[in-house]
Chain A
């Protein structure tokens, strides 16, 4: 049975359903035009757009595990961190070119995922979640303290001018300026918008891979495990390799995201591995919609938007916005709203979580689809049934 699935999987490696192709094209267009449509939202600057792309990759990868298999990992930030550290070490020891750095980031985090996944996947449900959490917290604590020679602990691992960079020295590539060398790709320095477009292209590729996995027999098998693992086992299906493969792929996506973080901004810190970061990607995925291909991307963008844009609004900004109002009214508006922005942006985020989950069950994507459907007076019974099935599990 396994071989059958594999063969049919091979033959279908390069085609997507018509619907998926259209989704992919629209997605690519949306990602590449970010500098345009994000401008009115105040988010069209390279630093944030890079983060949008990178955290979307992280969430897509997380969703391959959680969305398809239902296994909730609470330690995915460890792979992100490992990816970042690997990439920066590649910058320090080998070359400032980002291609080997990202490649190493994916491979090393894949190895980490293999080890952690091998042990964690012996348990399911909450026991699995706590195992992944425990492994990740160990990585974080050690990286912050005793592993400081490797990680530079609190300060973060930085690229320095005096690093060996064996490959660069061999090829005679020298840093252009006298300062700290910057990451480059095949000779082009990665800064600002270049960095964003690199990340954007990788994101589109990652999205495509995720679509392929969702549509492949492998994805079907994972979904089968999600709906009833016992039944799968009874039919003589060995679920272990499938689960482990999903875990490792998901970890490699996280490593890729971590490598890109380092490529666009060459620093790697232990805080990237803390449980709050693992929790963040869980929230991103759930917020956008678990198990949908595009949901986690939207979730990632919403959370990053709040973190970076809402937190930067202060009373001065608010006063400017409401300057057209009469003084008293302006004061009221500014006082009330200032509780929800700047230092209060966490409050808005918390309220958003509660409201979305109450009014848009299934996350932003599915919830809004259903709302839209209701407005059009068109019921979508299949989707609802599917949800109830999932909820009943």
Chain B
């Protein structure tokens, strides 16, 4: 223990000296004429620090650790180590594999505990103590929204990880927050044609919805999309968050006259509710002369692994899947597989892509000055990151790209092959009017962090 403390001191001293030299040195690696001071300017500190803030403990630790792996791989590739990954496929690309603006990137990590307060504490530590110029990472919308509003206050850009709520780039959008991940509204639009194709247009749906904001936005979006198909909504029932046993909500489904159960549950809620729904024999039933079906509008491969056999044949949407055939996906799956011995999950992909996109925007802007970086990201049109042609929309900082529709693999050969991609809904169809969700981005001018 005493050893640890001693070395900590030594570290702090070295850090201090490093900081002092950087102060003394003239501002290097700057291209533009942005003399403005801003929070954690690498021109002042002499270091480029990214802050990776993900849950490392608690129920979502697995998604968090995957995301962290993605981030660390991104740093390697940005710094020119490894095989370069998606830097080879991103078009247009400004990054040269020699760091950002010619200087190597470093990173710090934190544990959000899937708790909004802990997430903000971690982000503040990265910004105030470690001098992070960008913070990124989340596995729930609560974490993402809490961090991006902090980012706006501090004047440090935040790139969100997994966050599927409409609010992140809707009601609660921020100028300093960017989302690559897709969202509930797009899930609804994307899944609808496949539901019509598989289950027909004459269906009666029963929703079980996790009783908090994400659940509500998804229920609303899926309900709107399915009703547009001609489906009828029998009931929308709210279930408490983190409930282990859903039996009391499942028995009423049996004789409700519905023939589709839609589970608006995420993470462990879904991991528990889906197998229980299957155990109640829902999928063996006939209702209204049709096979009873279960739909989980949004799920990830880690959730699918957790739900086990129950996920076989279940349709849902995903942001990305390693088994896609495009160049970007193949390159990323290969680099990630070599580094970690397993194919990446969509959590890892989102983290990786967000880190690369930020670094690339800085390279294009020629400065770390946040307003310029934000302008470089806003309206940025790119391809080769595994999701087809993608637009970082300026109006709400939401990425516009195709959405995958997936189905639980009937006969997976390994835990990595639990999901099959059954189709993609093209970008044009999932593009929506940003005005429908309200909210305002706020100003570009950065606050000075204290």
Contacts and interface: CB of A to CB of B under 8 A. Distances in A.
B442 A179 contact: yes
A144 B240 CA distance: 9
A342 B56 contact: yes
A145 B212 contact: yes
Contacts of A337: 4
Contacts of A44: 129
Contacts, number: 150
Interface stretch (B93-101, B139-147, B351-359): B139-147
B10 interface: yes
Interface in A303-344: 307-308, 311-312, 314, 316-317, 320-322, 337, 342-343
B442 A321 contact: no
Interface stretch (B112-120, B284-292, B340-348): B112-120
Given A179-B442, A308-B121, A156 B241 contact: no
A193 interface: yes
A267 B146 contact: yes
Contacts of A40: 8-9, 12
A307 B125 contact: no
A145 B8 contact: no
Contacts of A155: 141-142, 145-146, 165, 167, 172, 213
Contact of A47 (B8, B115, B125, B149): B125
A267 B116 contact: yes
Nearest to B171: A155
B81 interface: no
Interface in A358-389: none
Contacts of A346: 57
B146 A47 contact: no
A390 interface: no
A345 B129 contact: no
A272 B213 contact: no
Nearest to B241: A144
B31 to A, nearest CB: 27
A311 B110 contact: yes
B152 interface: yes
Interface of B, helix, strand, loop or mixed by DSSP: helix
B213 A180 contact: no
A342 B112 CA distance: 11
Nearest to B176: A179
Given A179-B445, A343-B61, A156 B145 contact: yes
B321 to A, nearest CB: 26
Contacts of B5: 41
B184 to A, nearest CB: 13
Contact of B443 (A148, A178, A269): A178
Contacts of B442: 161, 178-180
Contact of A154 (B9, B117, B142): B142
Nearest to A340: B4
A177 B443 contact: yes
B108 A312 contact: yes
B443 A154 contact: no
Contacts of B445: 177-179
Interface in B57-76: 57, 61, 65
Contacts of B20: none
Interface in B105-164: 107-111, 115-118, 120-122, 124-125, 127-130, 140-142, 145-146, 149-150, 152-153
B339 interface: no
A145 B241 contact: yes
A180 B149 contact: yes
B122 A154 contact: no
Contacts of B9: 40
Interface string A142-168: 001110100011111010010000000
A153 to B, nearest CB: 5
B145 A148 contact: no
A292 interface: no
B167 A42 contact: no
A51, A193, A312, A317 interface centre (most CB from chain B within 10 Å):
A312
A3 B146 CA distance: 51
Contact of B107 (A156, A177, A316): A316
B12 A39 contact: yes
B40 to A, nearest CB: 12
B214 interface: yes
Contacts of B7: 321-322
B168 to A, nearest CB: 9
B450 interface: yes
User: Of B107, B108, B117, which is in contact with the most chain A CB atoms at under 10 Å from its CB?
Assistant: B117
Contacts of B213: 148, 152-155
A20 interface: no
B372 interface: no
Given A177-B443, A177-B447, A267-B149, A343 B128 contact: no
Nearest to B8: A42
B11 interface: yes
Contact of B121 (A47, A161, A178, A180): A47
B440 interface: yes
Interface string B291-332: 000000000000000000000000000000000000000000
Nearest to A195: B450
A337 B4 CA distance: 10
Which among B121, B122, B130 has the highest number of chain A CB atoms within 10 Å? B121
B449 interface: yes
A194 B61 CA distance: 35
B125 A343 contact: no
A161 B118 CA distance: 25
Interface in A36-62: 39-48, 51
A272 B120 CA distance: 13
A141 interface: yes
A320 B15 CA distance: 11
B450 A192 contact: yes
B238 interface: yes
Given A144-B212, A145-B241, 6 more contacts: A40-B8, A45-B129, A180-B153, A193-B450, A267-B149, A321-B8
17 contacts: A39-B12, A40-B8, A42-B11, A47-B124, A47-B127, A148-B213, A154-B141, A154-B142, A155-B146, A177-B443, A271-B117, A307-B118, A312-B109, A312-B122, A314-B108, A320-B11, A337-B4
Closest 7 CB pairs of A and B: A192-B450, A47-B124, A343-B56, A45-B129, A311-B111, A45-B128, A145-B211
